[in-house]
Structure formats: C-alpha cells, structure tokens
Structure 1
Amino acid sequence: MRGFRWPPPPDGGPRTWGPGPGAPRTGRPALPEPETDLVTTPHGVRLERLVTGTGDPVTVFAHGLGNGIATTRPFGSGVTGRRVFFQFRGHGRSDAPPGSWDYADLARDLRAVADLEGAGRAFGASLGAGALCRLLVESPERFDRLVFFLPAVLDRPRGEVARQRLTALLEAVESGDASAVAEVVSVELPPAVRNTPAGWAYLRQRLDQLLRDGLASGLASLPEQVAVPSTDALAAVTAPALVIGCVGDDLHPVEVAEELAAALPAATLHVYDRPGVLWSERADLRTRISSFLNE
C-alpha cells in the first residue's frame, strides 16, 4: 500500500515498497510562476495581480481560501480576451490589513481589481465565489457573465470541517515546517493522485508559495462568516451564470451550488458526480468554463 511521504523522493518518485521496478519515474514539473505586480486599490489595500492575454472581453478570476493566482490560472486557459488574476488580502504578496475580515472586504478587493482592469466577466472559486456573490448583492448589474466554481457559502456559515481545515493550514504555515504544511495540503488531492508525479508537482508548487508568502491570521474568522445576508438578495442579478458543483465534497457541499443556481434568475447548474474534478474532469471543466464565457 502506498502512503504519503514528505519530503518526496529526490527524483520525483513516487516510490513503491516491495518487489517491482525501481527506476525513477518522471513527471512534468510545475511551470515557473510568472511575474506579477502590486496594484494600489481605492480602499488602500495593495493586491498582487497578473494579467494575461490581450483585447476584449476582460475576465477577472477570484481564487479560493488559501489558494491564489497559480491555482486559478488553469480555469482561464481557454478563455478569450484579457484574463486578470489576483490575490485576495492576506494571500501571496497582497497586503494583510490588521484585524479580522468578512466577505464585504473580499468583495471590495474583487471590485477594485475588476474596475481597474475594466472586467465585464467574473469567475469565482470557493471563497472567490462567495466574494463575487457579495459584490453582486451590492451591484447586481456589475458583470455581464458569471461563473461560480464550487461555491462554499451563501447565507449560512461554513461547517466544522472547513474551520478545522483552515486552522490546521494556518498553524502549519505559521510553523514554517514543510512537512506539516504538506500533510495539510495533501488532503486537497484525491487519494489516487497523492503519490504520483503530478501530485508531487502540485504539492511542491503549493508549498513553495505558502512557505514563501504565508497566510494572514485575518483569514481565520472567514469560515464563521456568511457571504450574503439572504439568497433573496441575488434575485436582481440578470446576467447569465454558470454554477458548478460536485457530489461528495465536504468543503463545498453540493447543496450550496444548488441553492445558488436557484437564487440566480439566469443560472445554469452543472454537478459532477464525484469530488476532485480538477484532477478527474480537468479537460471537461476547462471546456465547460471557456465555452460559457466565450459565448
């Protein structure tokens, strides 16, 4: 039986125990991170940003909790026009204002980046989906096309699993112990992927970013927050929306995706039948997102 090990084999492994071939197994290494810049927002918080592509339309991409630009870029690989990726406060090189934060603060970050770049379309994953919902409550006509990937929270706080996972990640990152961070991050991977070259490449990329940039303590209170006061507030959003959920994801209950799709007047819901869709349904997911946004 294979088990998770850190540090990884020096040749990229994985290794197996018992008889069998022992030659190094190669995998495609993670791509080097591109150059980003820091932009000053009207509310005084500097945010890390990356702009790729050219021309119109412009799409802004909002990442999940504890993630960032690197993990969000694959969602935009087939999207036409300019693609704007950024890091929320407390992530990457973005500022971490003192105190705790709520979804209104995250919505302010998202709005600032979208306004600075003139983005007319928006993608939000998990935490980013919640921030996008909050922005739409305040400005329902701000975007003309919307994608929500694995929404995690609407008008009820996230569950105990999410709180425990975030606490463990914050404590591991604060300790600076690579093995502790790797143990927490490895849970993001489906069991079948954890000890493969692709899994190791993902872990290395995530650890490099987390141990270099850290995560701000202000994020700790977010699992106790709600994104919107009531889903009824989303009834004024008339833009076409694609909501993507999956069955069996403890951090992103499929019921949240269903509720969001029901609350948005022009939403299409797609539900995958198992978690880990970034690994098991990657090509279909990219095509689904790009086809919708490129219409």
Structure 2
Amino acid sequence: MRAFRWPPPPDGGPRTWGPGPGGPRSGRPALPEPETELVATPHGVRLERLVTGTGDPVTVFAHGLGNGIATTRPFGSGVAGRKVFFQFRGHGRSEAPDGLWSYLDLARDLRAIADLSGATRAFGVSLGAGALCRLLVESPERFERIVVFLPAALDQPRDPAARTRLIELLSAVESGDASAVAEVVAAELPPAVRNTPAGWAYLRQRLDHLLRDGLAPSLADLPGQVPLADAGGLAAVTAPALIIACEGDDLHPVEVAEELAAVLPRATLHRYPRPGVLWTDRADLRARIAEFLNQ
C-alpha cells in the first residue's frame, strides 16, 4: 500500500512511484455546486439549506460532525419526492451563535428545517443521528419514517478518539494549511481508496468546503456530550425505522446501533460486514435507504 501524500498530482493522478504507468490521467470536470439558501429559523439561527426534487413525501437529511450538504446528498439519490439538505450550526454558511452548544440545539436546528420544509421523513448520520434521536424523544410522532445511519452515541458518551479526531480537524482547518486538513480527512477513507482518483476527488471536495467555510470552534464540545439522558425515551416512537451499522467502525460502534434498534418498537437493523460502506457497498446502501423511505 503506497502512503497517502498531498498535494495531489496536477493532472488528476494519482502518481505512482517506481515502474508502471505514468501518463496523464484525465477526469470529468467537477459539476458546479448547487445554489443553497440561508433560512431564518424560529430560534434565531440562520441555517444553510438545499432543496432538490419535487412532490411528496419530503425527507430531511441531517449530516455528520464536520461534514455537510455535499457529503449527505448521495444518501438521497434514489429517494422519491423533495429532499431537504442543510448544515447544522457551525458548519458551512450556517450561523454559529455564541456560547456552548448541545444536542438540544442541534435538535432545534433539525426541527426548524423539517417544519419549514414540511418534512415527514428523516435521515440522520452520526451527529445527525444523535440530533434526530433527541428530536424524537421530545416529539415521538414527528416523522412517519426514519433512517439512522452509523449512530455514534445515545445515552453514553462517545469514545475519546472521536473528540481527538475532531480537535485535529478543527486545528487543521483553523491553520488554513490544505496539507494538514488533507491528512486528517484522509483518515475517513478506507486504505484501499487513498491515492486513487476517487479518493482524490473526495479529498478535493472536502477541502474546498472546509477551507472556504471553516468549522466553528464550539463544535469541539459535542463529542463529549450525550444526545439523550435515557435511551428508553425512544420507546414512544412508533414510526418504522431503519438502523444501519458497520462492523469494525471504531467511531460508530455497532453496539450503539443494536441498542437503538432494541429500544425503537418498529426498528429494522442492517449490519454491513466492514466499515467504509460508502466506498465498498454504495449502490446497495443507496438502494436500501431509497426502498425504505419510498414505501
């Protein structure tokens, strides 16, 4: 396995060391980013939003920590109706109010976007999954169908490694050093994908967003918090739920997904046998999410 390196080759690479093909590799030009909007919310924080598709039902998608609209959109590729993507506070162009933030604040962000968009279905990944669960404890009947992908925590704090990873990312982004940011983001990629055209494309997209918009320092406190005081509060949720986990994902332990599936009355749990499912089983993941939400 060749080591990851930055910056990428100028002609779309990757470059290799030693004998082997070394000619230029061309790729498709990047598509222009869709135009987003800043939406005023009842709790006074303007949030960045993107709406795609037409008709009903309406599904809201909640992203993971340090991610955003761009990394969440692939989950909705086969979902019917309107799809609403947004950035939590402190991400992208969304505002970053002063003070400490909690999962209650994130749940308010999610609720506001869902209410303003008329969403009846919800998808949450990692941090977004925690915010979705917090919202459901407060309003168990808010959504008709829900998908939770890679839940990271319920009523127990995350592993310290999650906070360490985020602190490294925040420090790198604050420094403005593209190489430093790339080294942290590269850890999100399965080893087999690093230094491949697909891996470089992902890194470029993530760096473009992170270095352009930054991340709010207040996000650093979230990995040490818990979304719920008691996961048992989710027993009042009657909506069908699809819970998706990956074996071997240290930041999103499969045990958390199992606990969530056990407490939700109408939950179905699906486990993938290895992490990095967006790279190894992307088509199956998209089809699974779409099939569930389109019912």
Report the residue type matching 1:271 in the other structure: R
Displacement of 1:30 in angstroms is 4.3
Residues 22-31 or 256-265, more deviating = 22-31
- Evaluate the alpha carbon distance shift between residue 216 and residue 46 of structure 1 in structure 2; reply closer, same or farther with a 3 A threshold: same
Displacement of 1:191 in angstroms is 0.6
Matched, 1:59 2:56: no
Partner of 2:150: 150
Partner of 1:48: 48
Displacement of 1:13 in angstroms is 0.7
Report the residue type matching 1:123 in the other structure: F
| Alignment map for 1:90-101 (pairs within 5 Å) | 90-101=90-101
Report the residue type matching 2:208 in the other structure: D
Displacement of 1:61 in angstroms is 0.2
Residues 183-192 or 17-26, more deviating = 17-26
* Unmatched tracts of structure 1, length 5 or more: none
Partner of 2:188: 188
Matched, 1:238 2:238: yes
Tell me if the contact between 1:51 and 1:83 (Cα under 8 Å) persists in the aligned partners: yes
Q: Deviations over 1:64-90 (max 9, x none)?
A: 000000000000000000000000000
Task: Specify the SS of the correspondent of 2:105.
Answer: helix
Displacement of 1:28 in angstroms is 4.1
Q: Distance in 2 between matches of 1:26 and 1:240?
A: 45
Displacement of 1:56 in angstroms is 0.6
Displacement of 1:32 in angstroms is 2.6
Q: Deviations over 1:90-131 (max 9, x none)?
A: 000000001121100000000000000110000000000000
Q: Distance in 2 between matches of 1:183 and 1:20?
A: 26
Paired-residue identity, %: 81
Q: Distance in 2 between matches of 1:150 and 1:29?
A: 31
Task: Specify the SS of the correspondent of 2:243.
Answer: strand
Partner of 2:252: 252
Q: Distance in 2 between matches of 1:285 and 1:151?
A: 15
Partner of 2:2: 2
Q: TM-score, normalised by structure 1?
A: 0.99
RMSD (Å) for aligned C-alpha atoms: 0.8
| Alignment map for 1:1-295 (pairs within 5 Å) | 1-295=1-295
Q: Distance in 2 between matches of 1:26 and 1:246?
A: 33
Q: Distance in 2 between matches of 1:138 and 1:45?
A: 20
**Runs of 4+ residues deviating >3 angstroms:** 26-31
Q: Deviations over 1:145-201 (max 9, x none)?
A: 000000001001111110110000000000000000000000000011010001000
Tell me if the contact between 1:91 and 1:214 (Cα under 8 Å) persists in the aligned partners: yes
Q: Aligned pair count? A: 295
Displacement of 1:277 in angstroms is 0.2
Displacement of 1:15 in angstroms is 1.0
Tell me if the contact between 1:28 and 1:201 (Cα under 8 Å) persists in the aligned partners: no
Tell me if the contact between 1:107 and 1:134 (Cα under 8 Å) persists in the aligned partners: yes
Q: Distance in 1 between matches of 2:32 and 2:193?
A: 21
Task: Specify the SS of the correspondent of 2:152.
Answer: coil
* Unmatched tracts of structure 2, length 5 or more: none
Tell me if the contact between 1:41 and 1:47 (Cα under 8 Å) persists in the aligned partners: yes
- Evaluate the alpha carbon distance shift between residue 178 and residue 199 of structure 1 in structure 2; reply closer, same or farther with a 3 A threshold: same
Displacement of 1:31 in angstroms is 3.2
Q: Distance in 1 between matches of 2:102 and 2:226?
A: 8
Task: Specify the SS of the correspondent of 1:165.
Answer: helix
Q: Distance in 2 between matches of 1:161 and 1:179?
A: 21
Q: Distance in 2 between matches of 1:8 and 1:243?
A: 36
Tell me if the contact between 1:136 and 1:237 (Cα under 8 Å) persists in the aligned partners: yes
Tell me if the contact between 1:78 and 1:290 (Cα under 8 Å) persists in the aligned partners: yes
Q: Distance in 2 between matches of 1:134 and 1:63?
A: 15
